[in-house]
Amino acid sequence: MSKNPISASLSMLNRFSGSPLVHRLGLFKPAQAVAHTAVREGFKAGAAVARQFKAVQKLVRPERFAQTTRASDLFDLNVSEEQQMIRDMAQRFAREVIRPAAIKADAACAAPEGFDAQLSELGLAQLAVPETLGGTATEASVVTGVLVAEDLAYGDLGLALAALAPIGVANALVRWGSADQQARYLPAFTETTPPKASVAITEPRPLFDPNEMRTRATIDGDGFLLKGEKSLVPLAENADFLLVAASLVGKGPRMFIVERDTPGMKLVADPALGARAASLGRVVFDDVRLPSHAILGEGVDVCDFGELVDLSRIALCALSVGTAQAVLDYTITYCNDRQAFGEPISHRQAVAFMIANIGIEVESMRLLTWRAAARAQQGLPFHREAYLARVLCAEKGMEIGTNGVQLLGGHGFIKDHPVERWYRDLMAVSVMEGGLLL
Amino acid sequence: MKILVPVKRVCDPDNANKVKVSADGATVTSDGLEWKPNPFDEYAVEAALRLNENAPKNEKLGETLVCSLGPAEVAQTLRQALAMGADRGILIDATDGQLDTTVVARALKALVDKEKPDLVLMGKQTVDGDSNAVGQTLAEMLGWPMATFAMTVSTNDGGKTLTVGREVDTGVLTLKVTLPAVVTVDLRIVAPAGIKNGATPADHKYNEGARYASLKGIMQAKKKAIDQLKLSELGIDTATSSAYPKFELPPARTGNCVFVETVDDLLGKLRTQAKAI
């Protein structure tokens, strides 16, 4: 320790961070992704027996979080000490585990072996599940959810989506689920191997609008009959259960809980251009018969579909902010290092101004997303804010992805640099609906 | 075993290039820097937690205390260690100007006298000051056995002694120390099999590196105590024994290289051009 906390021994700092020892020791080396086939085989074996959900305890009434109240509607940009610690954890995980695994996960369309175990060490689902059901959450955590999504997507968007999709389902169950549904599904999320689940909204057709879904549910005796098709569903092939949006004839859009192995439901891997590590898939419902308790919520507590779509859009925005920030940081370093005509290419205004614009846009995307999340957290109307954030993040996200590739020139086009993956991921997240929610 | 782990916050080692020296060279400015726990201290926390647990059963075997000296914000650094699993924090309020290695060692000795830990486990050095002196000074002041640069630690004789593998230039030096003792750790201590405590099965493989603060740990950390003390309350001599007259940044590297054909050529250039010899 020195008289001043930071002595001038910069060389030692650099020596530590760049120490060949760190590399030689293999310290912090992430689990290696294994071949695609091995992962698939492993999943098949694991999925042979469908997960059984059973209520461990009986809930008298559903658990709901009280509204977070603030003295005013003023937008507070300071994160709490607790949120900062969660961010530190998420950022470290993104840096040490997610980013190094991203290339192989993108190629294999699956998270690497051991990823789930590493992820469960963080216990992210604790954020969603209330204390009575084994979690630690005492209030809705929309803002914290945005911060985590952003930080994980900084590592890789696909893996972040895979990590957070199940927590989205848990969030929906806490917000709208009936007492029975909460008691049946929520405790499993705090176990060592949480269930795989995600929110299925997107349908495979042009100009898809969540308010006009073709997936239909009809009342059939004391249950429902579900027919239709969903696409871009994270973790589809291995999902233990899905939260499926469908239009209930005569009533409007509703969410249905569909467990794996329900007769008539077919889960197929269907990799797309981007977010491939999230194991995107297609789900076909061919007259799937569902019990009456499969509809999310009960009585007056029926799910607010508009709010669900908005919360999901905020989550997708947070993912694109994280990846756009990754593009910004990467291009700054690259353009300062890359020499052309005897000087770094960042000395060219065409390059420097483009990076400056990315910086401005990322920050705008972030602020709109945080704003929407903050209002959602406080129980204020946030439809408009979520919509504005969505439009900006989709449009600018794709532009930033493109510019990231352009700034790297020829290097942007090849797979040696991550910008081409970010370009694809930013595009994927811009056309998706659902997948996860906060 | 009761273990005391001193932790220091340092400027983010990954952003070290943002460190600036004031115009008169009197101080290093820390404005706008992000603070992180000193990596070696983080490894010491991890090592202490491993020594004090039965990992597969998730059982705690002893108390792990963390302490730090600094302004009130240092509580954040302690809170991170508590989120990893440490039990209690102690914050000694002090400004950077009041501290040097001797004062820190004296303060830690006062804490040890008060808390009576079986082991003081600390990072071998901080990555900002790089003095590599506090552990050694503390052991001398306490009159305790000391092992520095530990890469492996195992307990024996029912927790009365430790076998410490020390990383030295020529290989690994194995020491046996009787508790209470001071041990400073190197980065290899967080290898999967660095710590053996007799309770966690010997074949248990830890992940490389310090553990993540889990969400549950972060929530629990809020409820753990951080005792507040003042440097002046410890009853120690607070006079510093070293001073920094001037700071300067290392000269910028040009990136130019000079090629040499022979050893004589090299020696000549080192003499005439680089003036290094």
- pLDDT of A7 over the 50 cut: no
Longest dimension (CA), chain B: 67
Residue A299 lies in a domain: no
User: Do A98 and A170 belong to one domain?
Assistant: yes
- CATH code (residue A185): 1.10.540.10
Which positions ≥6 away from B225 have C-beta within 8 Å? Answer: B88, B89
Measured distance CA(A57)–CA(A425) in Å, rounded: 41
User: Do A337 and A421 belong to one domain?
Assistant: yes
Set of chain B residues whose Cβ sits within 8 Å of the Cβ of A121: 207, 211-212, 214
Set of chain A residues whose Cβ sits within 8 Å of the Cβ of B10: 5-6
Give yes or no for B27 touching A (CB within 8 A).
Answer: yes
Q: How confident is the model at residue A134 (pLDDT cuts 50, 70, 90)?
A: confident
Which of B8, B212, B240, B253 is best to mutate for the A interface (most A CBs within 10 A)? Answer: B212
Residue B6 lies in a domain: yes
Q: Is B118 exposed, middle or buried (0-12, 13-18, 19+ CB in 10 A)?
A: middle
User: Do A320 and A285 belong to one domain?
Assistant: no
- pLDDT of A4 over the 50 cut: no
User: Last residue of some domain: A195, A226, A247?
Assistant: A195
Residue whose pair of structure tokens reads 């059939």 in the numeric block: A220
Measured distance CA(A19)–CA(A17) in Å, rounded: 6
Q: Could you report the per-residue pLDDT of B116-160, keeping only the tens digit for each? A: 999 999 999 999 888 999 999 999 999 999 999 999 999 998 889
Residue A121 lies in a domain: yes
Going by C-alpha positions, the residue among B47, B45, B80, B51 that lies closest to residue B65 is B45
Q: How confident is the model at residue A224 (pLDDT cuts 50, 70, 90)?
A: very high
- CATH code (residue B59): 3.40.50.620
Going by C-alpha positions, the residue among B17, B58, B1 that lies closest to residue B183 is B1
User: Do A311 and A339 belong to one domain?
Assistant: yes
Q: Which of A3, A27, A127 is facing B240, going by the closest CB pair?
A: A3
SS3 of chain B: the string is CCEEEECCEEECHHHHHHCEECCCCCCEECCCCCEEECHHHHHHHHHHHHHCEECCCCEECCCEEEEEEECCCHHHHHHHHHHHCCCEEEEEECCHHHCCHHHHHHHHHHHHHHHCCCEEEEECCCCCCCCCCHHHHHHHHHCCCEEEEEEEEEEEHHHCEEEEEEEECCEEEEEEEECCEEEEECHHHHCCCCEECCCCCCCCCCCCCCCCCCHHHHHHHCCCCEEEEEHHHHCCCCCCCCCCCCCCCCCCCCCCCCCCCCHHHHHHHHHHCCCCC
SS3 of chain A: the string is CCCCCCCCCHHHHHHHHCCHHHHHHCCCCCCCCCCHHHHHHHHHHHHCCCCCCCCCCCCCCCCCCCCCCCCCCCCCCCCCHHHHHHHHHHHHHHHHHHHHHHHHHHHHCCCCCCHHHHHHHHCHHHHCCEHHHCCCECCCCHHHHHHHHHHHHHHCHHHHHHHHHHHHHHHHHHHHCCHHHHHHHHHHHHCCCCCCEEEECCCCCCCCCCCCCCCEEEEECCEEEEEEEEEEECCHHHCCEEEEEEEECCCEEEEEEEECCCCCEEEEECCCCCCHHHCCEEEEEEEEEECHHHECCCHHHCCCHHHHHHHHHHHHHHHHHHHHHHHHHHHHHHHHHCEECCEEHHHCHHHHHHHHHHHHHHHHHHHHHHHHHHHHHCCCCCHHHHHHHHHHHHHHHHHHHHHHHHHCCHHHHCCCCCHHHHHHHHHHHHHCCEECCC
- Range of the structural domain that residue A374 is part of: 305-429
User: A154-158, A206-210, A244-248, B20-24: which has the minimum mean pLDDT?
Assistant: B20-24
> Rounded to whole angstroms, what are the CA distances from B54 to A156, B49, B50, B201, B255?
34, 10, 8, 8, 51
CB interface of B with A, residues 126-185, below 8 Å: 126-131, 133-134
User: B18-32, B102-116, B261-275: which has the minimum mean pLDDT?
Assistant: B18-32
Residue A65 lies in a domain: no
Contact A427, A398 (CB under 8 A): yes
Residue B273 lies in a domain: no
Distance from CA of A2 to the nearest CA of B (A): 5
Strands B226-230 and B88-93, by their bridges, are parallel
Angle at B37 between CA B113 and CA B17, to 5 degrees: 135
Give pLDDT, residue A71.
Answer: 52
Distance from CA of B158 to the nearest CA of A (A): 31
Give yes or no for B104 touching A (CB within 8 A).
Answer: yes
Residues paired with A412 in a beta bridge: none
Chain A residues at the B interface, defined by Cβ less than 8 Å, are 1-14, 16-17, 21-22, 25-29, 81-82, 84-86, 88-89, 92-93, 96, 118, 121-124, 126-127, 136
Q: How confident is the model at residue A300 (pLDDT cuts 50, 70, 90)?
A: low
Measured distance CA(A127)–CA(A90) in Å, rounded: 13
User: Do A108 and A170 belong to one domain?
Assistant: yes
User: Do A175 and A287 belong to one domain?
Assistant: no
User: Do A288 and A323 belong to one domain?
Assistant: no
User: Last residue of some domain: A274, A294, A314?
Assistant: A294
Contact A404, A422 (CB under 8 A): yes
Number of domains in chain A: 4
User: Do A171 and A220 belong to one domain?
Assistant: no
Measured distance CA(A63)–CA(A182) in Å, rounded: 8
Give pLDDT, residue A11.
Answer: 38
- pLDDT of A222 over the 70 cut: yes
> Rounded to whole angstroms, what are the CA distances from A320 to A110, A138, A317, A397?
20, 28, 5, 6
User: Do A89 and A135 belong to one domain?
Assistant: yes
Contact B32, B17 (CB under 8 A): no
User: Last residue of some domain: A263, A294, A325?
Assistant: A294
Residue whose pair of structure tokens reads 């871009």 in the numeric block: A232
User: Do A355 and A420 belong to one domain?
Assistant: yes
Q: Could you report the per-residue pLDDT of B218-249, keeping only the tens digit for each? A: 989 989 999 999 998 899 998 998 888 888 88
Give pLDDT, residue A55.
Answer: 78
Residues paired with A282 in a beta bridge: A268
Q: Using the beta-carbon criterion (under 8 Å), do B99 and A8 form an inter-chain contact?
A: no
Measured distance CA(A403)–CA(A409) in Å, rounded: 10
Measured distance CA(A406)–CA(A220) in Å, rounded: 54
Give yes or no for B32 touching A (CB within 8 A).
Answer: no
Residue whose pair of structure tokens reads 């273990």 in the numeric block: B3
Residue B39 lies in a domain: yes
Measured distance CA(A397)–CA(A325) in Å, rounded: 10
User: Do A161 and A188 belong to one domain?
Assistant: yes
Set of chain B residues whose Cβ sits within 8 Å of the Cβ of A118: 207
Q: Could you report the per-residue pLDDT of A181-221, keeping only the tens digit for each? A: 999 999 999 888 899 999 999 999 988 999 999 999 999 99
- pLDDT of A18 over the 60 cut: no
Q: Using the beta-carbon criterion (under 8 Å), do A27 and B211 form an inter-chain contact?
A: no
Residue type (1 letter), B226: I
Residue B269 lies in a domain: no
For residues A70-74, average pLDDT: 57
User: Do A287 and A344 belong to one domain?
Assistant: no
CB interface of B with A, residues 194-233, below 8 Å: 207-209, 211-216, 218-219, 221-222
- CATH code (residue A385): 1.20.140.10
Angle at B75 between CA B73 and CA B81, to 5 degrees: 135
Q: Which of A3, A89, A118 is facing B243, going by the closest CB pair?
A: A3
Show the tokens assigned to A394. 């989709």
For residues A407-426, average pLDDT: 95
Q: Could you report the per-residue pLDDT of A304-357, keeping only the tens digit for each? A: 999 999 999 999 999 999 999 999 999 999 999 999 999 999 999 999 999 999
Number of domains in chain B: 1
- Range of the structural domain that residue B199 is part of: 2-252
Give pLDDT, residue A76.
Answer: 65
Angle at A37 between CA A35 and CA A38, to 5 degrees: 70
Distance from CA of B213 to the nearest CA of A (A): 6
Give pLDDT, residue A16.
Answer: 42
How crowded is residue B115: how many other Cβ atoms within 10 Å of its Cβ? 16
Set of chain B residues whose Cβ sits within 8 Å of the Cβ of A89: 212-215, 218
Set of chain B residues whose Cβ sits within 8 Å of the Cβ of A152: none
Which of B31, B100, B208, B215 is best to mutate for the A interface (most A CBs within 10 A)? Answer: B215
User: A115-124, A239-248, A272-281, B116-125: which has the minimum mean pLDDT?
Assistant: A115-124
Q: Which of B16, B21, B83 is facing A85, going by the closest CB pair?
A: B83
- pLDDT of A30 over the 90 cut: no
User: A68-72, A225-229, B73-77, B260-264: which has the minimum mean pLDDT?
Assistant: A68-72
Residue A345 lies in a domain: yes
Give pLDDT, residue A41.
Answer: 38
> Rounded to whole angstroms, what are the CA distances from A250 to A94, A219, A220?
45, 10, 13
Q: How confident is the model at residue A68 (pLDDT cuts 50, 70, 90)?
A: low
Q: Using the beta-carbon criterion (under 8 Å), do A22 and B187 form an inter-chain contact?
A: yes
* Chain A residue whose CA is closest to B132: A1
Strands A434-435 and A197-200, by their bridges, are antiparallel
